[in-house]
Structure 1
Amino acid sequence: MHPLINADPKASVDRPRIAQSLGHRRPATSVIAECLRVQAAVPPNTAAQRFFGVSPLGREAEPWYVGALGELEVARRLEGLGPGWYVLHSVPIGAGSSDLDHVVIGPAGVFTVNTKHHRGQNVWVGAKRILVNGQRTDHLRNAKYEASRTSKLLSVAARMLVDVTPIIAVVGSRRMTIRERPYDVVVLREFELVAWLQQQPITLTTEQVQRIAALATQPASWKRMPEADAVDHAAFDRLRRDIATAQRRRTGWTVAIVLTAPFAFITAWSVTVGALLVR
């Protein structure tokens, strides 16, 4: 069960009653919606393309697709936090279209988790910047801004100071080099996230955790009502399956070519030698 959902009205009193508006919001909702919107303009693969394993994913939809996979993976990891921790996903914030990938609330405090899916890339972390394949990013600045914004909104809603720690969760990197850790942003690989959170010292009482968690699920706390969650998650699941099927077919064709190439070479060589001997 999602840690923010209290489906049983007779459930233990150590969990607050959570408004369904944000407590039931699924991970990567905003990114999936944009992925499907862009992908809708891509013509379906032909039978021949499906046979040869051509990916059905459009080039413009790919960044959104990869981003969604990253958020889903981090959400899956966060399920391991256990009792006493509460997690919100894809939280709409402010008057614009921005959202927070994940908000984590527990005994160790409040955290915003910004997912960065850098599949197969090299990530270099310094005190003031993060480079991806040698290119400078705005990851640190954006993470700090999200945490600051979250702290202000939750502090107003809770009528108490709510400190928020920004976390960047790097997913799928080929190599991550920590030259120097930033002093105001935590940078972790996705598989380090849960253990790091659980090891942090306790800063909030159970009552404070419950109160902040309950307030965090209310759209009014974020100054924005979420759009109706009409995202077709089933369509995204089908897209994932189609992409995986195409990948398997490409792999199968590659293996077949590798296995048959020596025999094709031997056959061609034999024919050539035979023709020379006839002469």
Structure 2
Amino acid sequence: MFRYRALAAEHRWERRVMRGLLACGAGVIAAGVSVWWAGPVVAVAAFAGHVVYTRVRPGPTTNWRRGAQAERRTGRRLARLDPAGYHVLHDRALPGASANLDHLVIGLTGVYAIASRRFRWGVPLRAEQHRLWVGKRPVRGVTGVAGRAAGEVAELLTGELDCDVSVTAVVVVHGARGARDGFWHRDVFFCSARMVPRAFAKRPVIFTSAQVTTIAAAAERLLPPMMEMLTRR
């Protein structure tokens, strides 16, 4: 999410000035060739059209915006977990990495490193022949990135607590259609957004409440908020 904020901030004032000039110019022309009230109408339409265009045009900002929306939706789903048994951290920095961890859930049923991914609406998502497919196209990188993030978190927590802490890599899918109960690709679990938080709550209990609190406190120390890390730079 922090990457979208940074990209959106770039040239923000230039876009606003350009939008205003475009709207004013279109309004003046419309008023000159038609009735006077056509000017304000066309100006408003041009302004709104430019806003829509900058939001849907292909590019990194649009991609990050959609990713940020998926993260927020996953976050709202995770908020339904019982706070007595689950701690949820959002948008955390991984030490020594430029990427962030979308969500980390520490609960009675385990520790989950969660990535939110948005795919084209309605396209089937499946694991087949050791590869991940969206429709007829193979998808590369998603499983590997999620698995590495979970491995890094597990290594950090294990070293901090001096005991083995396993972390399950999870990709929460938005848009695409997957198996109803989710599916595994390598060591990463893929599930739809509607399965959250049921996918975590229905698993067997492996930690006590005291252990959950201890692991969550360690995660807070080791994984600072991404925005906090950015302000230090």
TM-score where L is the length of structure 1: 0.64
Is the CA contact (8 Å cut-off) linking 1:104 and 1:111 kept in structure 2?
yes
Tell me which residue corresponds to 1:130. 132
Tell me which residue corresponds to 1:92. 93
Q: After superposition, give the CA deviation of every residue in 1:134-163 in whole Å (9 maximum; x if it has no partner).
A: 222221121111111110011111111110
State the shift of 1:122 in Å.
1.3
Closer/same/farther in 2, CA of residues 147 and 219 from structure 1, 3 Å limit: closer
What SS does the aligned partner of 1:88 have? strand
Is the CA contact (8 Å cut-off) linking 1:113 and 1:168 kept in structure 2?
yes
State the shift of 1:184 in Å.
1.8
State the shift of 1:192 in Å.
0.5
Q: Which moved more, 1:160-169 or 1:178-187?
A: 178-187
Tell me which residue corresponds to 2:149. 146
Tell me which residue corresponds to 1:120. 121
Tell me which residue corresponds to 2:103. 102
State the shift of 1:180 in Å.
6.4
Q: After superposition, give the CA deviation of every residue in 1:102-133 in whole Å (9 maximum; x if it has no partner).
A: 00000001000111011415142115322224
Counterpart code for 1:126: A
Counterpart code for 1:200: R
Provide the C-alpha distance between the structure 1 equivalents of 2:9 and 2:137, rounded to a whole number of angstroms: 29
User: When you count strand as a share of all residues, which structure comes out higher?
Assistant: 2
Closer/same/farther in 2, CA of residues 42 and 219 from structure 1, 3 Å limit: farther
Provide the C-alpha distance between the structure 2 equivalents of 1:50 and 1:219, rounded to a whole number of angstroms: 49
Closer/same/farther in 2, CA of residues 183 and 94 from structure 1, 3 Å limit: same
- Of 45, 56, 68 in structure 2, the residue corresponding to residue 51 of structure 1 is 45
What SS does the aligned partner of 1:226 have? helix
Counterpart code for 1:32: Y
Provide the C-alpha distance between the structure 2 equivalents of 1:125 and 1:190, rounded to a whole number of angstroms: 15
The answer to whether structure 1 residue 196 and structure 2 residue 196 are counterparts is no
What SS does the aligned partner of 2:165 have? coil
What SS does the aligned partner of 2:170 have? strand
What SS does the aligned partner of 2:229 have? coil
Is the CA contact (8 Å cut-off) linking 1:74 and 1:115 kept in structure 2?
yes
Percent identity, please.
Answer: 23
Is the CA contact (8 Å cut-off) linking 2:146 and 2:188 kept in structure 1?
yes
Matched residue pairs, number?
Answer: 199
Query: How well do the aligned residues superpose, as a CA RMSD in angstroms?
Result: 2.7
Counterpart code for 1:40: R
Provide the C-alpha distance between the structure 2 equivalents of 1:85 and 1:136, rounded to a whole number of angstroms: 34
The answer to whether structure 1 residue 72 and structure 2 residue 72 are counterparts is yes
Provide the C-alpha distance between the structure 2 equivalents of 1:229 and 1:39, rounded to a whole number of angstroms: 22
Provide the C-alpha distance between the structure 1 equivalents of 2:191 and 2:166, rounded to a whole number of angstroms: 20
Q: After superposition, give the CA deviation of every residue in 1:164-192 in whole Å (9 maximum; x if it has no partner).
A: 0010100122x335896435211100110
- Of 34, 51, 56 in structure 1, the residue corresponding to residue 6 of structure 2 is 34
- Of 182, 185, 189 in structure 2, the residue corresponding to residue 182 of structure 1 is 185
Whose radius of gyration is greater, 1 or 2? 1
Tell me which residue corresponds to 1:228. 231
Is the CA contact (8 Å cut-off) linking 1:143 and 1:167 kept in structure 2?
yes
Provide the C-alpha distance between the structure 2 equivalents of 1:197 and 1:93, rounded to a whole number of angstroms: 23
Provide the C-alpha distance between the structure 1 equivalents of 2:183 and 2:8, rounded to a whole number of angstroms: 38
Counterpart code for 1:76: R
What SS does the aligned partner of 2:231 have? coil
Structure 1, unpaired ranges of 5+: 1-27, 231-279
Provide the C-alpha distance between the structure 2 equivalents of 1:192 and 1:125, rounded to a whole number of angstroms: 16
Is the CA contact (8 Å cut-off) linking 2:183 and 2:189 kept in structure 1?
no
Tell me which residue corresponds to 2:36. none
